Amino acid sequence: MPSVKALRFSESPTDVPPVVMIHGWGLHSGVFDGVHQALDSQRRVWAPDLPGYANNPVQLAPYNLDGLAGHLARVCTQPAIWVGWSLGGLVALSLALRWPQLVRALVLVGTSPCFVCRPDWSAAMEQGTLDGFAHDLAYDFSGTLSRFLSLQTGTHEGSRQQLRQLRQQLSGQAPPHMQALQGGLEILGGTDLRHRLQEISVPVAVIQGERDRLVPPQAAKYLAASLPGAVLTLIPGAGHAPFLSHPQIFMDTLMKFLTQHDLSMGAC
């Protein structure tokens, strides 16, 4: 298990739940730097790097959703508000299902309960798209990651700047371990949590870019309608990473949810 030094921890006020942010496939915790800085004076914030990212050893065999959730449950033992982006959202949902005592609330960003199409589920990417990424990783590691990053930006005027920012985030650390990338794709392709969403009773904020090219807005609408305590915010013009492309709207939405949660739950 990686040491707690792998966590970015802020010693801020302790009378509210800490916030733990889980990054997505192919990137690392640095993608949340802007959110981390904005919350620093108000919350204790953890932004862990998942196993296999940013020099963290893989240390999971097999590399699967239960393993990732279990890793975070061991490292982050205090009840918290979990912010999960993309693949990180699946990990956050798994935590809420398996370790509900650690989850005060969820914030799901660009997340789907099922990332690939099924016979009864069309609000997702085609299986062939994901298979293509898995195949290409073996032959063009950096090119495959670069193409994946290009899918995460929206079509707004700042999309090129956002793509540069994502690429800078990726280049700022050691490249992800191949086992983590392959395992992450298997999680995205093999996970379907639709039938378990009703089991999650904590407050949930679903934040989605209306122009997300990886997770259709219909998936976010389904997610919000199926989770008993969920509210949905669609951000016009945003792609897969609204906290980068539309930081002010994202932070306003996040802070409103956190404040409402504090008022409804009381100090911790």
pLDDT in tens, 4-57: 334 444 444 556 889 999 999 988 898 898 899 899 888 889 999 999 998 889
pLDDT in tens, 131-171: 888 888 777 777 777 777 666 665 555 566 666 666 666 56
In the set 23, 71, 240, 261, the catalytic residue is 240
212 counts as catalytic: yes
Q: String of b and e for 128-162 (b: at least 16 CB within 10 Å)?
A: eebeebbeebeeeeeebbeebbeebbbebeebeeb
Distance of alpha carbon 222 from its chain centroid, rounded?
17
86 counts as catalytic: yes
In the set 10, 36, 71, 86, the catalytic residue is 86
Q: Walk me through the domains of the chain, giving residue ranges and CATH numbers.
A: 4-265 (3.40.50.1820)
**Please, what is the average pLDDT of the chain?**
85
In the set 71, 159, 212, 246, the catalytic residue is 212
How would you write 20-70 as a 3-class SS string? Answer: EEECCCCCCHHHHHHHHHHHCCCCCEECCCCCCCCCCCCCCCCCCHHHHHH
pTM value is 0.88
41 counts as catalytic: no
Q: What is the mean pLDDT of residues 209-221?
A: 93
